[in-house]
Chains A and B, each alone.
Chain A
Amino acid sequence: MKKYGKAGFYLLLLAGAVVLPLLLNMSKKGKYQIITLTLAMVWAIATLSLNLVLGYTGQASLAHGAFLGIGAYTFAIFVERVGLNFWLALPLTCLFTAFLGALVGLPSLRTKGPYFAIVTLCFNVIVFKVFENWKWLSGGLQGQKVTIPSYLSEYWARYYVVLAFLILVLLIERQIVKSLLGSTFIAIRSNENLAEAVGIGSFRNKLLSFTVSCFLVGLAGALFAMVKGSVDSTVTNYLYSFYILIYLLIGGAATLAGPVVGAVGLYYLLDRIKSIGEFRYLAFGLILIVVIIYLPRGIVGGARQLWDWGKRQYNKREEVPE
């Protein structure tokens, strides 16, 4: 019975997500809200990708902003300059980004903890500077247009496409996390030395996790290009790596709902308080510090912990002898 309850809950959520644009359309700023939500879902996909490599495998990558940008540009170039079919360009972009990810992972995954974070951040800065300066590749600040097939030119069509991919990515991550491979990743995160001592090759598994993660963030990048209709050199900004990290940590790493809650919630919130300008990020920074100190599992993780604690307390009560 419990299983049906859970499935029912998710179905309800899905129904809500499907119906939402129709409801929003009725209000004045509806179109803007829908586009914002669409972008928020793209960020959710990016956050889910980081979740795989950080939340589940314990490696703090700060290069995902770069890979998002690389995905966006690869897609744009495939569609515009190579002339590939839109739906062919998508998986090719993911594969290419994954391939680049593996190349970057090979030297950098030999470092651990904050040093891996720094090496990946350095990579991101390099990519950003290259895209800024190499005008032939990136089109600089003016960027590169992306032609979208006509049936996707409606903003709500893009909403549904992104929603479909978000669900796909959630399913992919769920499958991985619940599998024996998933337990391998978690082992590495929990105690890498012990994992090695029980026969788990940590480097090769970290590399696998990172590569799959890049595949997914490449998808996010392609969708980003699709939604915006164009890309410019700011899309590889290393600040994006920080934002994705924040969405993940505040939402709740190592959960499936956390990245979605974090990305959609925070992106939407950020947009809402646009009027206070730079000070939004001030709040961001403060919240991050507070969360990492007092609520390291994020919103969803913390809520789950509370739920489990409550359940255990309740069960204990029932065991009290007469």
Chain B
Amino acid sequence: MSFFFNQVIIGIQLGSQYVLVALGLTLIFGILDISHFAHGHMYMIGAYLLYIIVVRGGVNYWLALVVCMAALAVAGVVVERAVYRPLRGQPQINTFIAAIGLILFLEALVRGIQPKALSVPKPIDKNLNFLGTSMEVQRLIVIIGAIFFIVLLQLFIKKTRMGTAIEAMAQDREGAALVGISVNRMSALTFAVATALAAVAAVLMAPLAFVSPEMGSVLILKAFVIVVIGGLGSMKGAIVGGYLLGILEALAIAYVSSAYKDVFAFGVLIIILAIRPTGLFGGRDAV
């Protein structure tokens, strides 16, 4: 029983990462209608940045978290300006293709410089014993950290002026423009917030796994799976879907097979879309 409980906690930890990345994707998709397929690679860059700052630069982990968030926010704005903005108004598939170009670029860049998998030390390398199970502290850090930033995001959207503007844009872009909300500024802001969230996910997760060039690839697909199944543009859907996928995956690894764990998410997507093409929570259609 305690093994099961242990796996569930791991699942929540896994899910935390998915939720943070899926939320960023949902923001960008829900507000800007952009399928930002390269989001997973921004996450990857965040992890490498962490490695450089902490392992090569000797900086404190927590400080590095802040630095990575800031740096990735800037990177997100640059990507929006250089890659996606020129394609505004074009069919969605063109933006998607541009994202593919960006993915190839980023992955090749990293692979060309340092293809080997790297590891980042945990800030607190201990185990915690509670409720009959033993858990690495880092996993709990991931879980708590994710919840902290999810709540922060909700507060930002609901309580601040910028956040309300974002929500307005998500509901009615033309109306928002008429009221004087600048589409350009909102686009930059959305990308900044979303990419910063990816940085959080990367920094929290990196000590638990290896930092490698392809760490973003499968992650982005799963994030899209979550976003599509949860309902495009629905933040609730992204949160529920993310945690659910994490738990299901952890249980699948433990009780079924670890080789096919990634396949699991995708199989579920295809099955769900075959039965209910509009996703589970509604929102806009993938159909």
| A and B, direct touch (CB closer than 8 Å) | yes
Residues of A with Cβ closer than 8 Å to B?
58, 60, 106-108, 110-115, 117-119, 121-123, 125-126, 129-130, 132-133, 242, 245-246, 249, 277-282, 284-289, 292-293, 296
CB within 8 Å for A122 and B225 given contacts A107-B270, A129-B262, A245-B97: yes
* Pairwise interchain contact B287-A112, C-beta atoms closer than 8 A: yes
Which chain B residue shows the least CB distance to A277? B112
A residues within 8 A CB of B37?
114, 118
Instruction: Write 16 A-B pairs (CB below 8 A) sorted by A numbering.
Output: A58-B93, A107-B274, A110-B287, A111-B273, A113-B91, A122-B269, A123-B270, A125-B266, A129-B262, A130-B260, A249-B97, A285-B102, A285-B105, A288-B97, A288-B101, A293-B87
* Pairwise interchain contact A282-B104, C-beta atoms closer than 8 A: yes
Picked from B87, B104, B225, B286, the residue with its CB within 8 Å of the CB of A285 is B104
- Per the bound structure, the CA–CA distance linking A126 and B269 in Å amounts to 11
Which chain B residue shows the least CB distance to A286? B105
B89 contacts A by Cβ under 8 Å: no
- Per the bound structure, the CA–CA distance linking A108 and B267 in Å amounts to 12
* Pairwise interchain contact A292-B98, C-beta atoms closer than 8 A: yes
* Pairwise interchain contact A110-B274, C-beta atoms closer than 8 A: yes
- Per the bound structure, the CA–CA distance linking A277 and B270 in Å amounts to 36
* Pairwise interchain contact B100-A242, C-beta atoms closer than 8 A: yes
* Pairwise interchain contact A125-B262, C-beta atoms closer than 8 A: yes
Minimum-distance CB pairs A-B, first 4? A285-B105, A285-B104, A288-B101, A107-B274
* Pairwise interchain contact B115-A285, C-beta atoms closer than 8 A: no
Count contacts on B: residues with CB < 8 A to the other chain.
47
* Pairwise interchain contact A289-B105, C-beta atoms closer than 8 A: yes
A residues within 8 A CB of B107?
281, 285
* Pairwise interchain contact A280-B98, C-beta atoms closer than 8 A: no
B263 contacts A by Cβ under 8 Å: yes
Give the most central of A115, A130, A296: most B CB within 10 Å: A115
- Per the bound structure, the CA–CA distance linking A111 and B263 in Å amounts to 20
A residues within 8 A CB of B218?
125
Which chain B residue shows the least CB distance to A133? B259
Which chain A residue shows the least CB distance to B266? A122
A residues within 8 A CB of B281?
none
CB within 8 Å for A279 and B112 given contacts A125-B218, A292-B87: yes
* Pairwise interchain contact B269-A284, C-beta atoms closer than 8 A: no
Give the most central of B100, B107, B225, B259: most A CB within 10 Å: B100
B43 contacts A by Cβ under 8 Å: no
Q: Restricting to B231-287, which residues have a CB under 8 Å from any CB of A?
A: 259-260, 262-263, 265-267, 269-271, 273-274, 277, 286-287
